[in-house]
Every structure is written in structure tokens, then in C-alpha cells.
Amino acid sequence: MAKRGLRSTFLALFVATCASQLGMGIIAPIFPLYAGSFTASAFSIGLAFAAFSAARAVLAPALGRLSDRTDRRTMMLLGPVGYGLVSFLFIFASSLWHLGVLRFLQGVTAAMVAPIAQAYVGDLTPPGREGRYINLFYSSMFIGMALGPLVGGSVAETWSYKAAFLLMSAVGFGALILVAVLLPKNNPRKAQQQTGTPQPSLRGALLRDKGVVTLLVYWITRGFWQQGFNTFYPLFAVATSGLSESSIGVVLTVQLLATGLLQIPFGWLADRYRRLPQVVVGGILSPFAMLGIIFVRQQWGIVLLSFAIGALDALSRASMLAARVELGRSHGMGVMAGLQSGGFGIGQLAGPMVCGVVVDVAGIQSMIPFAGAIGLVGAIATAYLFRRCLQASPSSDSGRS
């Protein structure tokens, strides 16, 4: 692909994904509070919130594999259409059951956007620059999600929850226009035939790859503790600090914005230096920063800790994303992007439900220590598996010291 065409394609993917993630972020600070208005238990709220992740966990791997065999652009057009329609239907929800069904449908449409866009970027990435390309793109997701909670919380506080859902719908249709106008066709199967690159791996071969197993452990545990925290932090903040919807939105925005902005320089580090130390430091210290929120009541202190959570999380994720792109060259970019999204979705599905049970049994104050413990266990397991991969194949830690 010519350099100008590569840049325009990357820009289209970046902007369209940022717009779609903005819509998803809008709902973050208001969904638990809106669901709570239906007089539901913490477990029920967690279950409804997790329906989004259930859809991603089930469908993302299959859709990623499908994108390796068809035109990725067509699939990305269907996603924003469905997302805009489903977001509009939130206005008419009259029970927690309705919210759960709509969240599931939202997850279906989301599985057609972000994983497919990541596979698109993987196709464009030259060898040796995996960290820079995929993390520059990934920042679009977090910038969109970072702005979403701030916008959603402010709109809900100023007008209403329904106004926030209308805005979410409008953003989804805006992403559709960007994809339709700017994104060219992409047929991976044709490119594979022309270049002689391997066809996507079968499921059994994937699960025998130690690198794939390492990535799955990382994404599942990370999805668990982060989504458990994001689901119940609004309730924790109201109960312990009396924060408003807009203040909660600021806290969540700072975390995501730190992740999005630092993803770019950390992607450069992932190409330049050894990845294992970055995975260890970021993976272990990020849950520790979250545990610090238990002891802080002032908003400025919570914001600082939120920034630290996002920054440290970005450090570990940058190296894991670079490793995923490398694996995509042998297993299929869509397969690996879908597998990541599916694994993350499994964690996001289990996190809110299990944390909901913990909150119902032990109280809202127990949620952060529990989620933090899961985060630490996941980081240690990932570091151990990553080290075993290096022992088997030292070239897999391709950052240069």
C-alpha cells in the first residue's frame, strides 16, 4: 500500500474507532445508577452490565476469524448501524431485564468494530514496529472511552439519562459515516494468497501456542478486575465520598485518558526494550494503585490514583499488544484480535457478576480489595507464563535493550 494510502486508512480507523468508543464510554458513569433506579441488587446490576461482555466473549473470536476471510470494511459498516439503533432503544427501557438485553445487543455490535479495526491495523504494521503501530491505534479507543464518561456524566447531570442515550446513538451513526466515507476495502484472504502468508490457525493449534495462552490469561484477568471496578466504583464513590455523576465521570475519564495518551510512548518502548519487565511493573503496580483508592476521600487524590492506574496499565498492555500483532502474522490478525476481545470479554463478563456477589455479601467497601487481589494474581501468572515463553523462544521478547 502506498504511504499516503496507508496514512489515510490508519486515520480513518483511528477516528472511527475513537468515535465508537466515545459512545461506549458515555454509558459508564450512568448505567449502574440508572439500573439502580429499578430497585435491583448489586448482582443483578452486575449481570446486566456484563451482558455487553458476554456478547463480545461469545462472538468476537468468530467474527475476527470471519474478517480474515472476507472484506473487513463491510463488517465495520454493520457495527455502527446496530450500535446507533440499540443506543436509541435505551430510552424506552422500563426494567432491568430490558437493560440487560440492550447491553447484550450493544456487545454484538461492538464486536464488529474494535476487533476488526485492530486486525486492519495489524495488516498495515511493518515488522519491528508492532508496538508503535498498534499502540498508536489503541490510544484512539482509550481517548474515546476517556471522553465518554466525562460527557455522559455531565449530560446526565445537566439534562437526563435519556439525553445521554440519545447522544450515544448520534455518536454511533457518526462513526458509520466516517467508515463509509474514509475506509477502503480490505480482503485479507486475497492478500494472503498473493504474498504466501499462512492461513489463520485452527483453534487447536492456537491453544497449543504458549504465547496465545499467556495473552489469554492476561486479558481475562485484566478484564475481570478492571470491569469489576468500573461497574461498582460509581456506587462506591457515592457511598464513601458522596461524589456526583460528573465527578465520577472525571475520575473514570482521567484513568482512560492516561491510558490512551501513554499508550503511544509505551508502544515505542515495547519495540525498543525488553517487554517482560514492562509487563511485570505495569501489571503488578496498576492493581496496587487501585487499592489506594480505599484510603482516599478527596477527589484530587482519587484523580491522581486514577491517573496512576491508567498509566501503569498502559505500560503492561503496550507490550502485550505488540506480542499479539507478532502472533497475528502466523495465526491470523483477525483471529488474534478476536481472541483478545473474546478473552477480555470473558473477564468483563465474570468481573461484574462475581464482584456483585461480593458486594451483596460483604458490602460495597469489599469490592476494591477483591478486584485488586484478582489483578495481582493475574499479573503474576502472566509474568510467569511470559518468562516461560522466553525460555522456549528468546526471540519472542523482541524489544531491544
pLDDT of the chain, 401 residues: tens digit per residue: 455 556 777 777 877 777 777 777 777 777 777 776 776 677 777 778 778 878 888 888 888 888 888 778 888 888 888 888 988 898 888 888 888 888 889 888 888 888 888 888 888 888 888 888 888 888 877 777 777 777 877 888 888 888 888 888 888 888 788 778 777 776 655 555 444 445 555 555 666 788 889 999 999 999 899 888 887 888 888 888 777 777 877 887 788 788 888 988 999 999 999 999 999 999 999 999 998 988 887 888 889 999 999 999 999 999 999 999 988 888 888 888 888 888 888 888 888 888 888 888 888 888 889 999 999 999 999 999 998 887 766 555 665 44
Ordered DSSP codes for 86-138: HHHHGGG--SHHHHHHHHHHHHHHHTTTHHHHHHHHHHHPPTT-HHHHHHHHH
Rg over CA atoms, the chain: 20
Q: How far apart, in Å, are the Cα atoms of 83 and each of 25, 50, 99, 112, 374?
A: 13, 17, 14, 10, 31
The pLDDT value recorded for residue 401 is: 40
Note the pLDDT tens digit of each residue in 225-280.
Answer: 988 888 788 888 888 877 777 787 788 778 878 888 898 899 999 999 999 999 99
Rounded to whole angstroms, the Cα distance separating 56 from 341 reads 7
The pLDDT value recorded for residue 398 is: 61
The pLDDT value recorded for residue 188 is: 57
Rounded to whole angstroms, the Cα distance separating 90 from 369 reads 32
CB within 8 Å of 123: residues ≥ 6 apart: 186, 188, 191, 333
CB within 8 Å of 266: residues ≥ 6 apart: 131, 135, 278, 314, 315, 317, 318, 319
The pLDDT value recorded for residue 396 is: 56
Task: Say if CB 108 and CB 7 are below 8 A apart.
Answer: no
Rounded to whole angstroms, the Cα distance separating 28 from 165 reads 11
Residue found by looking up cell 485488586 in the block: 372
Task: Say if CB 177 and CB 76 are below 8 A apart.
Answer: no
Rounded to whole angstroms, the Cα distance separating 188 from 71 reads 7
> For residue 45, how far is the Cα from the chain centroid?
20
Ordered DSSP codes for 265-289: HHHHHHHHS-HHHHHHHHHHHHHHH
The pLDDT value recorded for residue 286 is: 93
- As given in the structure block, the three cell numbers for residue 255 are 484513568
The pLDDT value recorded for residue 284 is: 93
